[in-house]
Homo-oligomer: A and B are copies of this chain.
Amino acid sequence: MRVLGVDPGLTRCGLGVVDALPGHRLQAVWFGVARSDADADVDQRLLAIERRLEEALEEHAPDTVAIERVFAQHNVSTVMGTAQVAGLALVAAARRRIPVAVHTPSEVKAAVTGNGRADKAQVQAMVARLLGLEERPKPADAADALALAICHLWRPQGAISAPQRPPGALTPAQRAWAAAEQAARRRT
């Protein structure tokens, strides 16, 4: 199971590809940022971002695209461009019949750090630990995109959870998450 996480933005759109491996392990495949020139017209900016998104889809062929949910009330000055980039990601996936999922920022933070209000540094640190990266992925937009992909793979009905389990028991994904969280705390 391979997930492309997309942290939408018109100036910087974070992209991150994560594989779920056997044994509930995660592997970073690639991450980066699609950028557009803030001085260009909005149609050209959106086109530049779309092309980079299309390249990432072509190159990495994800099974699912996980996109951060954009809220209308957040940061009015940038929300329209952010919403438009999220829309481009939704359509680029739909054109290829790739399923999409949308996760809120607090879902993503809770999934990777155990705290829905974690700050960017905590998210970056945990993404690096969970993916076994020697350095924190930069810029933050790319780390957020990787976190989105991890959130999607680790959600309760995710790719690496057991399809059937006794009621009340932790899923393998939840156990892995709890273990990673504990390990991270020990190292902090």
| A residues apposed to B, CB below 8 Å | 41-44, 46-47, 50, 70, 72-73, 76, 79-80, 83-88, 90-91, 93-95, 100, 102
- Determine the chain B residues whose CB is within 8 A of the CB of A46 once the complex forms: 87, 90-91, 94
Number of copies: 2
Measured CB to CB, the closest approach of chain B to A37, in angstroms, equals 13
- Determine the chain B residues whose CB is within 8 A of the CB of A95 once the complex forms: 47
A43 in contact with B83 given A72-B72, A88-B88 (CB within 8 Å): no
18 interchain pairs (CB within 8 A)?
A: A41-B100, A42-B90, A43-B91, A43-B93, A43-B100, A44-B94, A46-B91, A46-B94, A47-B94, A47-B95, A72-B79, A72-B80, A73-B76, A79-B83, A83-B83, A83-B87, A87-B88, A88-B91
